[in-house]
Amino acid sequence: MDAIVIEHLTKTFTPMWPWQKASTVLTDVSLRVRQGEIFGFLGHNGAGKTTTMKILLGLLRATSGKVELLGAPAGEVDAHARIGYLPESPYFYDYLTAEEFLTFYGKLAKLSAGSIRSRVPELLKRVGLDEARHRQLRKFSKGMLQRIGLAQAMVHDPELIILDEPMSGLDPMGRKEVRDLILSLRDQGKTVFFSTHILSDVEMICDSVGILARGRMLSQGRVEDLVGEQGAHSIEVVCDGVVGDEVPIVKQCALRILQKGSRCLIMLPGQEVLEEVLSAVRNAKGRLVSVVPHRGSLEEVFVEQSVQRG
């Protein structure tokens, strides 16, 4: 069973008054998140990530399409006992202390008093707020709020965790900690679905990605596949004892040649010409140092696709 199934989801905001214009924010969005994976939901500002997540949690209603979480239709409240959610730029009850706050959310998740008592200190430690446990949330910094928000999403040990830009507002250390946290959730067998517009986060920790642009899915799949598809065509060859520009075949095939003394870096457009170039280098008495397929980054995929179809 997939943790999240979205099929042909469309969302149109109907305004209060008939003379105002309706806006379609999501168009025919389909995606699947497998159980136990980390799924990165990528998209520019205003792409519709938050809207999609709100529909998943039943805060917004889908205009059409099918949305299921853990086998239950979106908005089915009982399934929420197994789901954790961190909204975008969350704002919490600032008159509660960190401990009271988590206790309240534990109660809402129907945890027993006993398990709340053991879970809360453990979680506070896990998100590094142990010392601030008796402090009111109004005295928290933005990063601390983000952490307590994460703790809140995990308090009931949910199977599926939905995080809307969990790393926003955090410093590099904080980002790393959140990344580690997400990875440790996967190690416990949880499914994590999170949105971001920062590619390096996704590239580092996600198993799968979905790219959303202007309310439509551009592509989705395994990170390696997406990156491989686009990036496999460029190869870097480094050799010694040749001047690239003086070998006609090399000069013909290379996209670019960088010469530094006797060392030469040859950038090739793809696999097809590799053999030819290597034998040419050998014939010219050159010594091969390395052949590296140049992996495209997710960033290239993202930019390329957004430009192509946007």
Partner 1 sequence: MQSVMAVANNTFRETIRDKILYNLVFFALLLIGSSVLLGTLTIGEQARIVKDLGLAAINLVAVIIAIFLGVGLVSREIERRTIYTILARPITRIQFVLGRYIGLAGIVTVNIVIMFAMFLATIWLSGFPIHAALFQAVQLILVESLVVMAIALLFSTFSSATLSASMTIGLYIVGHLTSDLKVIAEKSASQVAKAVMTGLYYMCPNLEVLNIKGQAASGVSLAIETQVLATGYGVLYAGLLLFAACLIFQRREF
Ligand X SMILES: Nc1ncnc2c1ncn2[C@@H]1O[C@H](COP(=O)(O)OP(=O)(O)OP(=O)(O)O)[C@@H](O)[C@H]1O
Nearer to ligand X, 45 or 290 (CB): 45
- Residue 247, helix vs strand vs coil: coil
Kindly state whether residue 81 participates in binding partner 1, applying the rule CB under 8 A.
yes
The secondary structure element, H or E, covering residue 258 is strand 256-260
Write down the least CB distance from residue 82 to partner 1, Å. Answer: 9
Binding segment for Mg ion among 17-25, 88-96, 109-117, 228-236 (CB under 5 A)?
88-96
Binding segment for Mg ion among 41-49, 144-152, 207-215, 273-281 (CB under 5 A)?
41-49
Q: Which of residues 125-164 bind partner 1 (CB under 8 A)?
A: 149, 152
CB contact at 8 A, 288 and 278? yes
Please name the amino acid found at residue 72. A
The structure tokens 């870097």 sit at 236
Residues that bind ligand X (CB under 6 A): 13, 23, 25, 43, 45-51, 88, 197
CB contact at 8 A, 35 and 2? yes
Nearer to partner 1, 82 or 126 (CB): 82
In order of 203, 241, 246, 272, 299, the CA distances from 267 in angstroms are 24, 17, 15, 13, 20
Kindly state whether residue 197 participates in binding Mg ion, applying the rule CB under 5 A.
no
Burial 287-299 (b: 16+ CB within 10 A, else e): eeeeeeeeebebe
CA torsion, points 26, 309, 210, 208, in degrees to nearest 10?
A: 170
Residue 230 interaction partner, one of ligand X, partner 1, Mg ion, none, beta carbon < 5-8 Å per kind: none
Kindly state whether residue 193 participates in binding partner 1, applying the rule CB under 8 A.
no
Q: Which of 96, 198, 232, 257 binds partner 1 (CB under 8 A)?
A: 96
Kindly state whether residue 93 participates in binding partner 1, applying the rule CB under 8 A.
yes
Binding segment for Mg ion among 46-54, 140-148, 167-175, 220-228 (CB under 5 A)?
46-54
Residue 119 interaction partner, one of ligand X, partner 1, Mg ion, none, beta carbon < 5-8 Å per kind: none
User: How many other β-carbons are positioned within 10 Å of the β-carbon of residue 279?
Assistant: 11
In order of 186, 194, 196, 270, the CA distances from 206 in angstroms are 10, 9, 11, 27
Nearer to ligand X, 214 or 295 (CB): 214
Write down the least CB distance from residue 213 to partner 1, Å. Answer: 24
d(CA 280, CA 47): 49
Q: How many angstroms separate the most distant Cα atoms in the chain?
A: 78
Residue 51 interaction partner, one of partner 1, ligand X, Mg ion, none, beta carbon < 5-8 Å per kind: ligand X
CB contact at 8 A, 267 and 255? yes
Kindly state whether residue 52 participates in binding partner 1, applying the rule CB under 8 A.
no
Kindly state whether residue 61 participates in binding partner 1, applying the rule CB under 8 A.
yes
For the chain, report the end-to-end CA distance as a whole number of angstroms: 33
Kindly state whether residue 83 participates in binding partner 1, applying the rule CB under 8 A.
yes
CB contact at 8 A, 11 and 26? yes
Write down the least CB distance from residue 163 to Mg ion, Å. Answer: 11
Contact residues toward Mg ion (CB under 5 A) are 49-50, 88
Contact residues toward partner 1 (CB under 8 A) are 54, 57-61, 77-81, 83-87, 90-93, 95-96, 100, 104-105, 107-110, 149, 152
